[in-house]
């Protein structure tokens, strides 16, 4: 199944009642791209800082989402989200949004050579969403896909929506607070989720 931007699908008919599946993000770029997910609670706000999953925090507290990375060569990369629906409380975190961000201030997502998201189960590709970046301008971040619970069923939406401000803009969009930069030099200011302790997304270590 080939998805287009804005399309929404029910997961159960595809994964055949299985509780686990993978979202595989494959991209090719001449710059570093950060992949992350946001677990949203009430009012579409980041439920807790533990539910922002990224390179330095690769899984959520109950193992609902686990993130791993693979690099095929210098410019081709894969990020794999291992998702276990049986561990997700839809009353707590009914939405998980997968995002991509340019890691430096000089690059934009329009300059991606390619980006594709695959829904996989038991190593079988069930749905594919190929991102078209031709309509983008200088956006630093992209909301790629969303896994969400509606009408007693889990679903997926292909989004492809851009943001100009990069990772801080995404965090604010999802209800988090971006703290002021510390006096010491830092490439990315620390990020604080609303009403939680701080989340640091300051690069890979």
Sequence-separated (6 or more) residues with CB below 8 Å from residue 35: 25, 54, 55, 67, 69, 79, 98, 99, 100, 101
User: Using an 8 Å Cβ cutoff, are 193 and 199 in contact?
Assistant: yes
Q: Are strands 141-150 and 8-10 parallel, antiparallel or unpaired?
A: unpaired
Q: Token pair for residue 101?
A: 């961000």
1 has a pLDDT exceeding 90: yes
- 7 has a pLDDT exceeding 70: yes
According to DSSP, the β-strands at 52-53 and 33-40 are antiparallel
* CA 71 to each of CA 10, 76, 80, 140, 187: distance values in angstroms, whole numbers, following the listed order: 30, 6, 11, 21, 23
From the list 89, 46, 40, 97, the residue with the least C-alpha distance to 64 is 89
List the strands of the sheet with 198-199, edge to edge: 177-178, 191-192, 198-199
Tokens of 133: 């970046």
pLDDT in tens, 58-91: 999 999 999 999 866 555 699 999 999 999 999 9
Per mean pLDDT, which range of 15-29, 119-133, 156-170 is the poorest? 156-170
Helical spans, DSSP H, in the chain: 12-15, 166-173
Report residue 179's pLDDT band, with 50, 70 and 90 as the boundaries: low
pLDDT at 5 over 90: yes
201 closest CA partner among 79, 36, 69, 46:
36
Q: Using CB atoms within 10 Å of the CB of residue 9, give its burial: 0 to 12 exposed, 13 to 18 middle, 19+ buried.
A: middle
Between 172 and 189, whose confidence is greater?
172
- Is residue 154 over pLDDT 50? yes
pLDDT-based confidence at residue 166 (cuts at 50, 70, 90):
confident
**pLDDT for 202:** 44
**pLDDT at position 133:** 86
> How high is the mean pLDDT of the chain?
85
User: What's the pLDDT at 126?
Assistant: 97
Instruction: Quote the CA–CA distance of 64 and 95 in Å, as a whole number.
Output: 12
């Amino acid at each position: 199944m080939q998805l287009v931007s804005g399309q929404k699908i029910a997961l159960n008919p595809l994964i055949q009642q299985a509780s686990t599946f993978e979202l595989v993000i494959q991209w090719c770029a001449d710059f570093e791209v950060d992949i992350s997910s946001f677990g949203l609670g009430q009012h579409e706000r980041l439920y807790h800082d533990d539910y922002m999953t990224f390179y330095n925090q690769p899984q959520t507290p109950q193992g609902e989402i686990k993130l791993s990375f693979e690099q095929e060569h210098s410019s081709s990369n894969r990020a794999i989200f291992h998702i276990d629906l049986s561990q997700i409380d839809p009353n707590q975190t009914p939405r998980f949004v997968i995002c991509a961000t340019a890691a430096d201030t000089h690059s934009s997502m329009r300059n991606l050579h390619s980006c594709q998201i695959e829904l996989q189960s038991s190593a079988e590709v069930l749905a594919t969403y190929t991102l078209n970046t031709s309509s983008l301008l200088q956006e630093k971040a992209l909301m790629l896909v969303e896994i969400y619970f509606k009408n007693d069923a889990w679903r997926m939406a292909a989004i492809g929506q851009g943001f100009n401000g990069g990772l801080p803009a995404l965090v604010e969009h999802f209800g988090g607070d971006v703290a002021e930069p510390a006096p010491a030099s830092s490439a990315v200011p620390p990020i604080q989720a609303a009403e939680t302790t701080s989340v640091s997304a300051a690069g890979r270590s």
